[in-house]
Amino acid sequence: MVSANSADRYLPHTVQQPVKILIVGAFGVGKTTLVGSVSEIRPLRTEETMTEAGAGVDSLAGLPEKRTTTVAMDFGRITLNERLVLYLFGAPGQRRFWNLWEGLAEGAVGVLVLVDTRRLEDSFEVLDQLELRGDTPFIVAVNRFPDTQHYSEQELRQAMDLLPETPIVECDARDRTEAMDALIALVQHATELSRARKVAS
């Protein structure tokens, strides 16, 4: 594995600046598929160790209860121009993985929340948490699976109780153009927020 495709494994030497986008969603929602659709490299997998979120305090010993687990994380890459590269990290959204993806979200362009309309409730926790954080731009991308009922944007917004300013897009994660459009919508949103913030300060 280490020797496979090592010729095109590397970036041009001119690249100076990495940026990243996070793809967060419940199990099986299509994170890896979306990363694979747009990535210029075969998606790679790494392990990240993290301390479990919501770990309590052992009151007897007075020491924080530390529990570290290992989470697999997929990622891909898009070289945007001769000096700029974008990394896409897919991470599970459940509460116990918050420490992982919140760490990844720091300094990120934004977060794409991938949802499956058959299991909308699986995305509630992650949406709550992103709204609470407030500082990370995010949009919702509804991954269109076949045999799923169609809902209007209004219905979806209501069902997820989205803030009016949170954009929502639909995509088939297997389709490169649609997946690119979802990323573009996220960066567009992040750009607008960032411009507004600059004007305000």
Ligand X SMILES: Nc1nc2c(ncn2[C@@H]2O[C@H](COP(=O)(O)OP(=O)(O)OP(=O)(O)O)[C@@H](O)[C@H]2O)c(=O)[nH]1
Interface residue list for ligand X (CB under 6 A): 25, 27-33, 90, 92, 143-146, 172-174
Helix 31-38 with 176-200: angle, nearest 10 deg: 90
Rounded Cα gap, residues 105 and 19, in angstroms: 11
Question: Exactly one of 32, 75, 129, 171 binds another protein (CB under 8 A); which one?
Answer: 75
To the nearest whole angstrom, how small is the minimum distance from the Cβ of residue 155 to Mg ion? 27
DSSP E strands: which ranges in the chain? 17-25, 44-51, 57-58, 63-64, 68-81, 84-92, 110-115, 138-143, 168-171
| Torsion angle in degrees (nearest 10) through CA of 96, 87, 193, 94 | -10
Q: Using an 8 Å Cβ cutoff, are 72 and 89 in contact?
A: no
Among 22, 26, 30, 32, binds Mg ion (CB under 5 A): 32
Least distance in angstroms from the C-beta of 88 to ligand X: 12
Q: How far is the CB of 150 from ligand X (least distance, A)?
A: 14
Query: Which residues sit at the interface with Mg ion, rule CB under 5 A?
Result: 31-32
Residues binding another protein (CB under 8 A)? 1-2, 9-13, 15-20, 41, 44-49, 70, 73, 75, 77-78, 80-81, 84-87, 89, 104, 106-109, 135-137, 177, 180-181, 183-184, 187-188, 190-191, 194-195, 198
